[in-house]
Amino acid sequence: MVGTDAVGPSEEVGWDEDGAWRTAAWRSGSGARAPRRVAVADDRMAADLAYRLVCEGTALLWRGDYHGARQLLAALGRRVDRKPPKQGATPRESFHLYRQARTRRARVLGMLLVPLETAADGSWAVPLRRAPRVGEACVEAYGPPPGPVGALTLVSLRELQGVLGAHEWRRKGVPIEALGGARIHPRHGVFSPVRGEYVDLVARAPLPRAAGARSGPGPGEEAGPVPEAGADGGGAPRGEDPGRLTAFDVGTGTGVLAAVLARRGVGRVTATDVGEQALACARENVARLDVAQAVEVVRADLFPSREAGRADLIVCNPPWLPAKPTSVLEQAVYDPDSRMLRGFLTGLGERLAPAGEGWLILSDLAEHLGLRPREQLLEWISAAGLRVAGRLDARPEHARATDPAAPLHAARAAETTSLWRLRHVEEAVVS
């Protein structure tokens, strides 16, 4: 039975069930608004009917067997995928059509809801037959359940599956080759470092000089700038004592890059982020990897406070694509109007020590999709009073780069991730 339009604030959802009006709190990690229409569904509902209802904007509150809900979600996914994204006349148009299709898919699949309730022991629980234990995973993602025992919260099954998956990532961890196989444990809503090429670039780029170190070329070093195109600055660090170096890791996420720098011997690393989950995640990983003496994790939008002074090395791996994210996790990939990228470049010069370097780690996928030309990036670098001292490149190894059937394959197959070594204009010509 399709419920009446819900009333009240967007944080609450209402529906008619067994002739009574019921309400529950609404939770969405992607920021989706509470559905206005809700129908109660169970194992008797046919997938075609369910698909028609969700496409019309009616959410389905599942009251049957939990595994039946999973089967229905899979059936809805198959129906959505019958219409693959259209190909545009240009890579840019194809990207936007792909994003539209993914947004619609997420919206449709997000309309299958399951209840969460406050259990007698004060933890989260799913009051459905054969439901898994979700208490620990939900506390990690949402915090303690609100309300008294029995209080209901509705969440999309798709989001709950993401929460459970993130819990497994956090429990098992992600092995990082640049950390000698040690594991990073991501949290829900924090991008997992499964693409290792950007971590490896930070592990092998030559470290800059510490402030006050020699200013001319040393033995085996040539005066003059390192070529921009295809430059590979691998090899031994130029800094004779990395323990004297100070570094900022801007937008640290899991803290993986800060940990790599600390393991390379950088004496003091200040890691910043704005998200509470990211900050907690980075602190956990820093402590687990035993680099807490060298790494401080602080809340900041881009650079740490002025009291932190200037750094010999400032590292940033901003989101790659200038587009609007649709969830917290997508904020690690999509950067509206290149806000973080431009903010990093604009503020980098005044926070770098005189002989310091900024390391911008960036995929060129946006260039292959026609979203941001290389010339634009170089103009922003120049306008910030910076020059390219060198560049290290790495080809991605993820499956989409080699799968011809993957969406946007041509652009993904051509993608390169680069570490741009940026310095003050005067430093770029004497290092």
Give percent of the chain above pLDDT 90. 71
Q: Which sign does the torsion angle of CA 95, 100, 104, 110 carry?
A: positive
**What is this structure's pTM?**
0.85
Cβ contact 10:26 at 8 Å:
yes
What pLDDT does 274 receive? Answer: 94
Find, among 195, 209, 201, 276, the residue nearest to 240 by Cα. 209
Query: Residue 142, exposed/middle/buried by CB under 10 A (0-12, 13-18, 19+)?
Result: middle
Give percent of the chain above pLDDT 70. 88
Q: Which residues contact 410 (CB under 8 A, 6 or more apart)?
A: 91, 368
What pLDDT does 402 receive? Answer: 66
What pLDDT does 226 receive? Answer: 37
User: In terms of pLDDT, which residue wins out, 330 or 193?
Assistant: 193
What pLDDT does 212 receive? Answer: 54
Q: Check whether 431 has a pLDDT greater than 70.
A: no
List the domains of the chain with CATH numbers. Answer: 12-170 (no CATH), 173-208+243-424 (3.40.50.150)
DSSP 11: T
**pLDDT, tens digit, 9 for 90 and up, residues 91-146:** 999 999 999 999 999 999 999 999 999 999 999 999 999 999 999 999 998 889 98
**pLDDT, tens digit, 9 for 90 and up, residues 223-242:** 333 334 344 444 434 445 78
**pLDDT, tens digit, 9 for 90 and up, residues 278-328:** 999 999 999 999 999 999 999 999 999 999 999 999 999 999 899 888 777
Confidence of residue 424 (pLDDT cuts 50, 70, 90): very high
Find, among 413, 409, 431, 410, the residue nearest to 421 by Cα. 431
What pLDDT does 410 receive? Answer: 87
What pLDDT does 399 receive? Answer: 64
Cβ contact 292:258 at 8 Å:
no
What pLDDT does 16 receive? Answer: 94
User: In terms of pLDDT, which residue wins out, 405 or 35?
Assistant: 35
**pLDDT, tens digit, 9 for 90 and up, residues 45-102:** 999 999 999 999 999 999 999 999 999 999 999 999 998 888 899 999 999 999 999 9
